[in-house]
Structure 1
Amino acid sequence: MNTLDGKVAIVTGGASGIGRATALLFAREGARVVVADLDEAGAAATVAAIEAGGGRATPVRADVSDTADCRRVVATAVETYGGLHVLFNNAGIIRRTTALDLDVEEWDRVMAVNVRSVFLMCKHAIPAMTEGGSIVNTGSGWGLKGGGNAISYCASKAAVVNMTRALAIDHAAAGIRVNSVNPGDTDTPMLRDEARQLGEDWAAFASDAADRPMGRAGTPDEIAQAVLFLASDAASYITGSALVVDGGGLA
């Protein structure tokens, strides 16, 4: 359909999971994509897959909690492809602990990767969106309700959801829409790492993740489709929204 034909997009956390699926989908829909990730080899693999399908993409190794790296990611998009139209802030980490078991340093790292990164990427990307644009931030169902053994993650994703609303208000006059996509449990490397952190068998953990009206966890491709919708002109009158994509879990 070439929904993003002629657009330039940045995807953070693009080496795997939802980020990789979205980068691939954006490219299939005509976007030129900058794939940013601390995992340099993973970002390069995503770019290789895009190029194998006839798309155009550039990998950037970046710690998105670092100001200089965020500035460099945006500069790469502008210098390589001539502009910026879409930003998908997807990089994120999770620590499955209670407040009693969480080190302050771990709290700070979750906040840096999940919250500070969104602020920094938006701070540097918005001035580059001279033709208007769309920003999509990855929240979570746990950004809208609480969850067990995940205090830092829940707090960080709630911050992302409300930061999204504030950004939407501040930048609507510039033609920039800002929305959050809020997945439920999705079969990604991060979900499997949660099982490891909790010391749970993957099969049992996956069964618990499927305990929702649709009877299964989501796939990265399904979340990517929701991100594409919010990034595209099909969502031209949507800003400040928190789109839940969770198989009915919150319902």
Structure 2
Amino acid sequence: MAQLTGKNALVTGATSGIGLAAARRLADEGAHVFLTGRRTEALDAAVAGIVAAGGSATGIRADVADLGDLERVAAAVRERGNGLDVLFANAGGGEFAALGDITWQHYADTFNTNVGGTLFTVQTLLPLLNRGASVILTSSNIDVKGAAAFSVYAASKAALRSFTRSWAAELAGRDVRVNSIAPGPIGTPGLSGLAPDPEAAEQLLKNLASGVPMNRLGRPEEIADAVVFLASPASTFMTGAEIYVDGGASQI
């Protein structure tokens, strides 16, 4: 039997990259997966792909930085019934900006999505979490590393590491586990999109891969496997932890 048969899971930022790969894997393991994203066409395609592969999924167009959208997500989960067993708060993003070039808008956009979006996603869905539920945050291995021109993004991910510990302590009495995954550079559209053009993107990815001891970028599916582990009964004695899935970049 699949590990998550009969469970309900929610993945934010699920239309591409890590979020989409995780949604597919959770559905493969038997969960009904709620997917959120800001682009309707991409969201519909993601849901259709899961259903075509024999999975069960519901798409909800939502921006995690919008409290009204989050309430609609909660309403959709509530309407299906049976609460929520897995919450993968994955939506996030960032842009390069050197210290002298950082604007208030750059800071606000990054923190509103990565920190505020994660905070209020978990808060809004909190009443729907079943006993034994698993909450998983997408951090980054940059939360323990320095990164030129990426300081605001790094700080936002360090905040998520702190959330992981604090929420794990707070929710232990409800038998809800909270852990985070810290990916290294992963070959996703979002990573390539940090560069201004295809040529620069190719050079960026090459440079990032060279800094990984395994000498390559990670694949979204490799992060999705870690998500399934944290969502499954295989990790029931884990909470407050952060798993680095980065080819050794933060460890070696």
**d(CA) in 1 for partners of 2:91, 2:130:** 24
Q: Is residue 209 of structure 1 aligned with residue 200 of structure 2?
A: no
CA shift for structure 1 position 130: 3.1
Tell me the CA shift for residue 45 of structure 1. Answer: 1.0
Give a deviation string over 1:185-219, Cα, whole Å, max 9, x none.
Answer: 0000111012228x962332221111211110000
> Counterpart amino acid of 1:210?
A
Task: Report the Cα distance in structure 1 between the residues aligned to 2:131 and 2:243, rounded to whole angstroms.
Answer: 24
Between the two proteins, the alignment pairs up a number of residues equal to 250
CA apart distance, 1:131: 2.8
Q: Which amino acid in the other structure matches residue 236 of structure 1?
A: T
- Compute the displacement of 1:152 (Å): 1.2
> In 1, are the aligned partners of 2:194 and 2:201 still within 8 Å (CA)?
no
User: How many angstroms apart in 2 are the aligned matches of 1:200 and 1:239?
Assistant: 42
Letter matched to residue 232 of structure 1 = S
Residue 196 of structure 1: SS of its match in structure 2? Answer: coil
Equivalent residues in 2 for 1:147-162 (5 A)?
A: 147-162=147-162
Between 1:82-91 and 1:200-209, the stretch displaced more is 200-209
Spell out structure 1 runs of 4+ moving beyond 3 A: none
1:64-112 per-position Cα deviation (integer Å, ceiling 9, x unaligned): 0111211221221221253211100110111111221122012101101
How far the C-alpha of 1:52 sits from its partner, in A, is 0.1
Q: Which moved more, 1:236-245 or 1:78-87?
A: 78-87
Match of 2:188 in 1: 188
Structure 2 portions without partners, runs of 5+: none
State the match for 2:58 in structure 1. 58
Contact 1:32 1:81 in 2 (8 A): no
The range that moved more, 218-227 or 1-10, is: 1-10
Provide the C-alpha distance between the structure 2 equivalents of 1:121 and 1:132, rounded to a whole number of angstroms.
Answer: 18
Whichever residue aligns with residue 3 of structure 2, its letter is T
SS at match of 1:210: helix
**Structure 1 residues without counterparts, runs of 5 or longer:** none
Within 5 Å, give how 1:17-32 maps onto structure 2.
17-32=17-32
2:40 counterpart residue number: 40
CA–CA distance in 2 between the matches of 1:185 and 1:81? 37
What TM-score do you get using the length of structure 1 for normalisation?
A: 0.96
